Every structure is written in C-alpha cells, then in structure tokens.
Amino acid sequence: MQTIELGRTGRQVSAMALGTMQMGGSTDERDSVHILNRYLEIGGSFLDTADCYEWWAHPGILGGQSEELLGRWMRDGNHRDEVFLATKGSAVPIYSPDLWDADGNPNWELARRTFEGAGAGTLRGALEGSLRRLGTDHVDLYYVHVDDRATPLEETLEVLDSFVREGKVRHLGWSNVRTWRLERIRQLCARNGWTLPVAVQQQHSYLRPGAGVESSSIVNAEQLDYLAEHDDQTLVAYSPILKGVYDSAAKRDGHWMMDNYTGPDTDARLAVLAEVAGETGVTPNQLVLAWLLHQGAPRVLPLIGPRTPEQFEAALPALDVKLSEDQLERLA
C-alpha cells in the first residue's frame, strides 16, 4: 500500500481508504473484523466512518453501530495507534417514527430534510458521542458530513477550530459541498485564523456526471479545477466504482447509481475502460480504482466500502496496476 500526503499537512495516509459504513449493519462483526485485519495486513491505515452509520439498517436507532464496532476492534487488538481514524458529524436525522415504514424501510426524503446540522452545540455533542463509541480521546480527521447552509459558516468553523485546539481532532474535512462554499470556507479560515479543512470527501468516479446534474455531493469539472489549484485539500472519492457497475452491462442497466452518469460520452468512456482493462489484465472496476490512484491534479484518494471480504479482496489488484502515459491519455 502506497501513501500520499493529506493536503500539505505532512501527514502520510494510505493511498486507498477503507470505508466502514456497513460494518455493524449489513456486514456482520466477523466479516467486519476480517476486512479490518486484512486492510492492516496489506499496509492500510486510513479508516472512514460516521456517527450516522448505519441508521437506515436499524429501525428505531439513529446510527453509531459502525463507530461502536471500530471501537471494539481497536480496543481488542490494540489497533488505535495503527490507524488514521476519520469520522463525521451533522448527518444524523432528527428522530421520528416516520423515518421507517411498517416494513422497516428508511424514509430518505424525510431524513435529508431533518438532518441535525452543523451548529456548534450539535457538533460538540456529536463529536463527544463519536469519541465515546470509538473509545479514543481524539480522531485524526473530523468531517462536516452534510454541508449545513442553515447554520452560519462562522459558527461551524469556530467550533471545529476549537476541537483542533483542544486536541480532540487533528485535522478537519468537509463533505457533500459545493465549490463556492469551499472558497467561502477558505476565506473565513484565513480571515479568522481558523483551521482549514484539508480533506474534501465527494462522490467521484471515472464516468462524468451527465449534463444538468446538480448535486452538491458529486464532483464536477469546476470542483476538479478548484482542487487542482488548491493542493492543500485532498479529494477523498467515495463510491469510486458506483456500486460495482463497471464490471457488468446488465448491472448498469436500470441501476439507480447510473441516474447521474448518463451523458454523451458515457458509452465512449466505458469502451476505453474495457479496452485498457483487457490490456492490463484487470476488471473495469479494478481499473477505475487504479485510474483514480494515478490522478495528480488534483490528487485523488479513493475510498472503498466493501460489504463482504470478497468485495474487499476484489479491490486489491488495483493497487498494483501501473498505467502507461498512453493508457492514461486514452482514459482521460
């Protein structure tokens, strides 16, 4: 496992991060521990979780299962000093019985309207809860999980800065955020001497979002350009293989992840991807991860979120793929 510098902090982190969203939910304890141990075994260290994971899998509960599982794993194996630990706050929905239907299915529309937000008191309570569940006195990276435009940025940035000054957080990040907000955050941090977020976690993959897609969560050309110009912030790419759709045309057909990625160049990019995958002897999913690892302007740190040990193992060949300049130009 190679490492890259997080922003310009001097801190080296694994070039591929491990997302633990489904651990303690869709992924049971045994498989979760197996994946975590294997990740350490291959030299990985960057673990990503959030306080809301995985509320939608447990009717009546608002998350915390992933953090609790990680806390047990770190305690039982004495792993805390071996990992770069990231968690997030602001996205837990306000409790309502209407968050789940009679069959236990989550009401995402309600959850997106009622997330708790990034007010100072809310974030402080969220961080304390995360530290308790994780069984640690600090996290290495703390994200605002969902950009909260109802709370003044000054309030959010000031309390985040206090977390760093108190030693409870080493570095800050922001997720699901528009480019103009990133620039506003930068200006306020410079003006007030507050700690600048060094990680920007967004949905990013090989396919480009289609024309007219307006999502604060998906990287567009403007955001790529902005992050290329500001290399003190690293792009952490979640859902890099779009639920694994690259390996199967049948899976792509009608898959909800493709809703944002249908455009005039989609077929052409998929064709080049298949061609280069054949040349390199890997699957299209693996090639997408390898391509992201090769990006330099901006640097991209893919975040994988395997549900099973088999899915985890399937991602690993990407770490060994070396793409030629010709192949990178064709994939560009």
Residue 138 has a pLDDT of 98
Is 123's pLDDT higher than 90?
yes
Query: Which distant-in-sequence residues (6+ apart) come within 8 Å of 98 by Cβ?
Result: 107, 110
Query: Using one digit for the tens of pLDDT, what is the confidence trace for 164-212?
Result: 999 999 999 999 999 999 999 999 999 999 999 999 999 999 999 998 8
Is 58's pLDDT higher than 90?
no
b/e string for 275-303 if b means 16 or more Cβ within 10 A?
Answer: ebbeebebbbbbbbbbbbbebeebbbbbb
Residue 264 has a pLDDT of 84
Q: What is the mean pLDDT of residues 17-41?
A: 97
Query: Using one digit for the tens of pLDDT, what is the confidence trace for 276-329?
Result: 999 999 999 999 999 999 999 999 999 999 999 999 999 999 999 999 999 999
Residue 124 has a pLDDT of 98
In the DSSP assignment, the letter for residue 82 is G
Tell me if 237 sits within 8 A of 203, measured CB to CB.
yes
Domains and CATH numbers, the chain: 3-331 (3.20.20.100)
Q: What is the mean pLDDT of residues 232-246?
A: 98
In the DSSP assignment, the letter for residue 42 is T
Please state the separation of Cα 183 from the chain's center in Å. Answer: 20
Question: How high does pLDDT run on average in the chain?
Answer: 97
Tell me if 107 sits within 8 A of 98, measured CB to CB.
yes
DSSP string, 151-204: S-HHHHHHHHHHHHHTTSEEEEEEES--HHHHHHHHHHHHHHTPPPP-EEEEE-
Strands 139-144 and 3-5: unpaired
CA dihedral 175, 178, 182, 185 (to 10 degrees): -90
Distance CA 300, CA 292 (A): 6
Distance CA 141, CA 75 (A): 19
pTM, two decimals, is 0.96
Is 249's pLDDT higher than 90?
yes
Q: pLDDT above 70 covers what percent of the chain?
A: 100
DSSP string, 197-253: P-EEEEE--SSPPPTT---TTB--HHHHHHHHH-TTSEEEEESTTGGGGGG-HHHHT
Residue 259 has a pLDDT of 93
Query: Using one digit for the tens of pLDDT, what is the confidence trace for 202-233?
Result: 999 999 999 889 899 999 999 999 999 999 99
Residue 212 has a pLDDT of 87
Distance CA 199, CA 32 (A): 25
